[in-house]
A = this chain, B = another copy of it.
């Protein structure tokens, strides 16, 4: 039995430790087709080679969130197999598009540790990096998770909480080489709204809702080689429910946001994110967005929008109650930067 992994516990992590996550992965048109079957994704840049070429790219990349999910999924056995909760994201930067044929690897560096006052668990902060087959970093983000201790009597490590930016600065966004939206085809993309048409504070209800089935979220989560048993084993939780991978809700909400944000093409940064409440099969997920900020970029015809994307169960539009806590029907509160034609 000793050959199987029980995952790491809080006392196993050390500041500066770098973990190379297992199982490199080559992506193909198969992952793209599945992404389109699993989510109502319609972003033209990720759907058409011709559209992408007209925007200065060599072809249509796979959806940014495919890269995110694959790189995240690889980190699960080493980081979050014994996680009590996935607490947050910061400083996420998408540095290069991923194309069919690319092979992704993932590694994480421990950048913060803080034992909880109960002595039974602690918070681990990791910076996870995804690289392609040329060793180029394609994605870099920080997440922190609460991890159980194996031995409650293990000594607490020195507390180090990393200094994380609340927002990735617009000047720190990395734009894909060659990206050019000056000949952007708004009709092909699906909506006429340009960067300049969005105002800070504007709220968009994305209208549509999708009811989730068990088979769908399990297909998706396995596709990213994320094997956390809570997503797959109906006997694991006392209530017999399978918890839906938080990334499934991110992709679903992002795809739903097409209706109103069809031109919000490329995610370039994740500033912050919270899985506010658990999501289960049978939930009907809706989404709304708020424009948080706008920035110009050096790429021709390309502007950036900072958006809040909120996924809800039931009616859209809600966020927090009077107590300042997330409404129990809020599933996701994501803060990200996206590239939009000007």
Contact = CB atoms under 8 A, between A and B. Distances in A.
A209 to B, nearest CB: 4
A318 to B, nearest CB: 15
A3 B50 contact: no
B259 A4 contact: yes
Contacts of A209: 229, 232-233, 235-236
Contacts of A105: 188
Interface in A195-243: 197-198, 203-211, 213-216, 218-220, 222-223, 225, 227, 229, 232-236, 242
Interface residues of A, number: 78
A203 to B, nearest CB: 8
A340 to B, nearest CB: 12
A223 B3 CA distance: 33
B48 A3 contact: no
A40 B213 contact: no
Contact of A235 (B42, B211, B229): B211
Given A4-B205, A29-B30, A188 B218 contact: no
A187 B260 contact: no
Given A30-B31, A42-B227, A193 B236 contact: no
Interface stretch (A16-24, A139-147, A294-302): A16-24
A220 B37 contact: yes
Nearest to A206: B4
B24 A188 contact: yes
Given A28-B32, A211-B232, 20 more contacts: A3-B198, A4-B205, A5-B259, A6-B207, A20-B188, A22-B42, A22-B187, A22-B262, A23-B43, A23-B44, A23-B47, A24-B44, A28-B100, A29-B31, A30-B31, A37-B220, A209-B233, A210-B233, A215-B216, A235-B284
Q: Which 4 A-B pairs have the closest CB atoms?
A: A30-B33, A28-B29, A22-B190, A24-B48
